[in-house]
Amino acid sequence: MNETTETTEPTESLKAHFLRLYQMAICDDNFSPLELKALYKSAEERGISQKNLDEILLNPINSKPTIPENIEEKIDYLYDLTVMIWADGEVSPNEKSALEKYVLMFGFMEENALQIVDYLIDSVKDGKSKADIINDLNDKK
């Protein structure tokens, strides 16, 4: 098999991110093929091969969850999680609750968590890009 795309060896942080994405995909009772497709698309965008992603999902890391350090990386990961839950065109209460849990885990203030979740879901529904969201946040600083 001849692979033409360049692949990257995933960091521990990226491995943790893909495990979070997988957890998000399975947190509702309807694990959609569209969610799985979104997971592999996200990996491909980051230069992670299908084989590497399979390895991550089949052999989860045992270290404590790594939390993104800067705001851009936090938004980057939260955006991916939001794309994952919107992949099937609906957001279940479990998915919304899980996204809120990650917003809090990433260090956002509790009183802002639901507003951030709603903003991310609305942005993804409206087709806003990750860059647009980061630019919006930088404009509000």
Alpha carbons 94 and 88: distance in angstroms, whole number: 14
Widest pairwise Cα distance in the chain: 51
- What would the mean pLDDT of 9-36 be, rounded to a whole number? 80
In this predicted structure, which of 11-20, 22-31, 64-73, 77-86 has the lowest mean pLDDT? Answer: 22-31
Confidence of residue 8 (pLDDT cuts 50, 70, 90): low
pLDDT digits over 108-138, tens only? 999 999 999 999 999 999 999 999 988 887 7
Both tokens of 8, joined, read: 């990257």
Range of weakest confidence among 60-69, 103-112, 128-137: 60-69
Closest listed residue to residue 102, CA positions, set 60, 74, 125, 122? 74
CA pair distance 47, 63, nearest whole angstrom? 23
Phi, psi of 38 (to 5 degrees): -65, -40
Task: Band the pLDDT of 4: cuts 50, 70, 90.
Answer: very low
Residue 79 has pLDDT above 70, yes or no: yes
Indicate the pTM of the whole model: 0.74
Q: CB 95: neighbour CB atoms within 10 A? A: 24
Structure tokens at 107: 């260090």
User: What confidence score (pLDDT) does residue 1 get?
Assistant: 39
Q: What pLDDT is attached to residue 102?
A: 92
At 24 the pLDDT is 81
